Amino acid sequence: MTESKIYLRDGRTKALVEASLFDEATSDHLALWDRDWVPAMQAFCAGKSLSEKPEDSHWDWRRKSRAATGLLGYHTLAIVCADDLQGLMMANDISSARLPQQFGKPLIYVDFLATAPWNRPQIQDPPRYRGVGQVFLLAAIELSMSVGFKGRVGLHSLPDAEAFYENKCGFTRLGSDSSHQGLIYFEITDKQADAFRQRN
Amino acid sequence: MNAKKTMTLNLTDQEMRVLEELAQKKELTKTGVMKLALRLLQTLDARIEPGKKLFIEDEIGKEKSELVIL
């Protein structure tokens, strides 16, 4: 497991704060998810209708992590700041691109990406930290480059995150995918990935 | 960083030709293709259990054809 230094932005002071990106979500990270993340999400969701709950409120990261354990093609990443878990991501490097200009070429596919409940403005305003999503996408691009995929990344977005991927990260929208509950599929080329890296 | 081990791979002309074609098509090195194949096969082997099948679906026509994996 490798730990890299990254920076998040304090949601209140806007100052950059040093944090750690781990290229493997360990049992310690999942224990933090159990201890803090789950109760915070449950507290926010209590009494709310399905449409009012965060779209990922039902994600069971322990189960997801278990399903990927031992598989060479799957990667689970974690971000920790101030001894608290700030985000989790699962990605695989056995998927193919769909954009016509890179169709069939391998890419990093982001299976799941989530920031901790206290980093979401709709749950806590101001959020504790900003930038978890960008750091994870940069990590996905770096992973893509390290395995020879030149920065190519693809993902299906939950509806609330579509604008983030399209406008903030520069992904290309490829439309609704009936094989993924109608979620919109997004993809980034090597050039788009390079532009995103330079902006961040 | 995981320690790496080296192996020699003996391929027939046809196998080498396919490997080179895939490397070109996927924009990978030949080693990259072999590693990708290993990751893919491991995932398929882990996911496909008795009673489960792998299909390829035509997005437009919606026809499905089963992909049989050894």
Q: What is the ipTM of this complex?
A: 0.86
CATH number of the structural domain spanning residue A90: 3.40.630.30
Domain extent at residue A136: 3-198
Q: Do B26 and A72 make contact, defined as CB atoms within 8 angstroms?
A: no
Contacts of B36 in chain A (CB under 8 A): 93-94, 106
Q: For an interface test with B, give the residue of A1, A66, A72, A177 to mutate (most B CBs within 10 A).
A: A72
Q: Is residue B28 part of a domain?
A: yes
Give the count of beta carbons closer than 10 Å to the beta carbon of residue B57.
12
Domain extent at residue B48: 13-67
Q: Is residue B59 part of a domain?
A: yes
What DSSP designation does A154 have?
E
Distances (CA, A) of A45 to A31, A54, A117, B48: 21, 8, 11, 36
Q: Do A71 and B38 make contact, defined as CB atoms within 8 angstroms?
A: no
User: Residue B70: what pLDDT?
Assistant: 61
A171 at interface of B, judged by CB pairs closer than 8 A: no
Q: Do B28 and A150 make contact, defined as CB atoms within 8 angstroms?
A: no
Dihedral sign for Cα A138, A140, A141, A147, please.
Answer: positive
Size of interface A-B (CB pairs under 8 A): 38
Contacts of A104 in chain B (CB under 8 A): 25-26
Q: Is residue B8 part of a domain?
A: no
Tens-place pLDDT, residues A17-55: 999 999 999 999 999 999 999 999 999 999 999 999 999
Q: Is residue B63 part of a domain?
A: yes
CA angle B56–B57–B62, rounded 5-degree value: 160
Minimum-distance CB partner of B32 among A70, A74, A148: A148
Q: What is the dihedral of CA A163, A165, A168, A173, to 10 degrees?
A: -80
B32 at interface of A, judged by CB pairs closer than 8 A: yes
Q: Do A106 and B26 make contact, defined as CB atoms within 8 angstroms?
A: yes
- Number of domains, chain A: 1
Chain centre to alpha carbon of residue A47: 27
- Number of domains, chain B: 1
Tens-place pLDDT, residues A89-138: 999 999 999 999 999 999 999 999 999 999 999 999 999 999 999 999 99
Q: Is residue B35 part of a domain?
A: yes
> Is the model's pTM score more than 0.90?
yes
